[in-house]
């Protein structure tokens, strides 16, 4: 149930409630001819069929980045991992951004130093969310993820968790996780 709720929030954030067909078509083809009713203009298709050309907007770079990241849900956690064979948290974030032509630091600590900090209530999809690591006594940044949804009372993010039971690349909600609420440090943005 938790995952279903997270996916619904993420899907609504990413698609803007437009639906899977339009989103898929926007990724596959920038324009699409569809059969239409009266008033459609001729397009020169054999047989004189009447069609209307509609334009489906292509996803922006942040949508594209997130769809790429979602492909890796379920990939196992691997210490110092930076490939689809296994990722650590910052290795996953680094890999996703690198595959979209955005150079960011490899470690979560350096992401925190070099990214432009934004207020939590101004977080947007594609921002990097940073936390303290698993050692509660160490007060330095030690975990990173990518914001995939932000609304008034919650942040959803995708990350590679080292949790032994449910680790690897997963989706999480701040609202539903006291663990991440306590360890939250900041949100940073890298220009795309």
29, 41, 89, 173: which is the annotated catalytic residue?
Answer: 89
**CA 15, CA 8: separation in Å to the nearest integer?**
10
41, 100, 148, 159: which is the annotated catalytic residue?
Answer: 159
41 carries an active-site annotation = no
29 carries an active-site annotation = no
89 carries an active-site annotation = yes
CB atoms within 10 A of CB 138: 10
What region does 59 belong to: left with phi over 0, alpha with psi -120 to 50, or beta? beta
What residues have CB less than 8 Å from 121, skipping those under 6 apart? 152
29, 41, 143, 173: which is the annotated catalytic residue?
Answer: 143
78 contacts 72 by C-beta, under 8 angstroms: no
Biggest distance spanned by C-alpha atoms of the chain: 74
CA dihedral 157→112→84→58, nearest 10 degrees, is 60
Q: Which residues are catalytic?
A: 89, 143, 159
């Amino acid at each position: 149930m938790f995952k279903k709720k997270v996916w619904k929030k993420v899907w609504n954030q990413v698609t803007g409630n437009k639906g899977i067909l339009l989103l898929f078509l926007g990724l596959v083809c920038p324009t699409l001819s569809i059969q239409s009713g009266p008033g459609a203009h001729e397009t020169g298709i054999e047989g004189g069929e009447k069609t209307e050309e509609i334009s489906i907007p292509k996803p922006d770079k942040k949508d594209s980045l997130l769809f790429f990241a979602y492909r890796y849900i379920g990939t196992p956690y691997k210490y110092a991992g930076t490939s689809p064979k296994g990722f650590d948290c910052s290795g996953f974030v680094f890999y996703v951004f690198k595959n979209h032509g955005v150079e960011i630091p490899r470690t979560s600590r350096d992401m925190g130093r070099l990214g432009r900090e934004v207020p939590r209530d101004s977080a947007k999809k594609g921002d990097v969310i940073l936390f303290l690591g698993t050692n509660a006594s160490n007060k330095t940044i030690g975990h990173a993820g990518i914001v995939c949804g932000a609304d008034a009372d919650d942040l959803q993010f995708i990350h590679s968790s080292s949790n032994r039971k449910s680790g690897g690349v997963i989706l999480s909600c701040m609202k539903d996780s006291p663990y991440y609420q306590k360890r939250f440090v900041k949100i940073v943005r890298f220009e795309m």
